[in-house]
Chain A
């Protein structure tokens, strides 16, 4: 019994230790440990074994999500932060006006992104963008709930999709 568990664990570890480099994982977990302990040097007595043990296992299955293009992460975050603030102000303005100017619509949007992880990322990102909410990230169509101003929201989604494609290193067809 114990032997079988051990051999399963061994084959699991052998499968998972391939792929993304151990070195990158050690660096990433060390930074995370530094943040979580707020730079407390004494905690490294626990930290070094913990980081080493965690780095043994690759959290991404082989052939899993492709790595982000890190260089594009910074500008993407800046755009994200700006759009989040705009979307919060937009929804706040709709809430606060006595007339409550909302005109909801349910819209189908044909995907241009191909890979599953890029679609997943975008479907969740949409919930934080001005006036849009994902109802169903389907196989062919992305079903959206729009709070008002359908055309404007859709053109925002198109631009967002192009940015996500850039982040994941995907080529997508231009909008007709």
Chain B
């Protein structure tokens, strides 16, 4: 006779035997990934500092004020740091665009100034590629959008002012007023005041980029450290399962005890990772806005909130290990699933970068739901919906593993 409790105790003993090695490997893996994270942060920072976007402006620039306006924009401090704006012909722009020398160009349509004068704004055309996705693409869109608005608005105001002065018989003061207005614009630029506001786009769940990277990499870590347990989880032979079955402990009891012990192991490794994070954050000087705003108790609370995620990953990995009968296949399967699922679920790049159908699939995938739950936890939002999805997936993976275990008991 073998009871569920006895089997659970034995499984916990197995976990205990394997624990030191697994913890050591997990710490090594965590430290490596933290270095990777640090490197990614540094690269992002350096890109932000160094990257200047090349933008072309083409079209009818013959109007004096338009010419002045564009020159003002070109020389604005804020824009000079981000973009190099060059006037050129449309043919030149097309050729440079094709060669990748410029990222986009702004087309000022013929009769743009005349249209402003009669109160009908012709649209400025912004030309870029569909592939300009990602943060770089979003920044270009924002920048060019801001330039378009500035050009249109300043032109509008100058010509509106001129119309007003002519209509009200102040023609002799027109030159002076125009000069004053241009000077006012230039003064604003020279004073380096924020002439335009670059809208910071949230990645998802109102989380910062570093917060996103932190949760994404942490989830990837949780997925990867399960590989350390391969020798514990892969069964090359089924006779014990059969005997347990004959002694009253069927697939249900076996799987629930094994997954409980495995999830316990994963929770212990989560604790190791938490300690690594605290140490590494101090030593490496990470800045994670959402994390930095928490006190120690809240940080610990956030890590405890991750337990459902750890149980989900444990259930998923236990099911995957159930499908294989040798260690090498087990490692490969876990690695491929971890990397591919974390990619399509938005752990590496935010989901908003993917096509819509991938966003839907990724968002409702086990790892997508887990990531969203973690991000909501980090930003202090309510993640009840995601928690429900996680619980459903835990039950699903448990049921699948029990079904598979039953097959193994019967078929050998």
A and B are partners in one complex rather than unrelated chains = no
* B interface residues with partner A (beta carbon < 8 Å): none
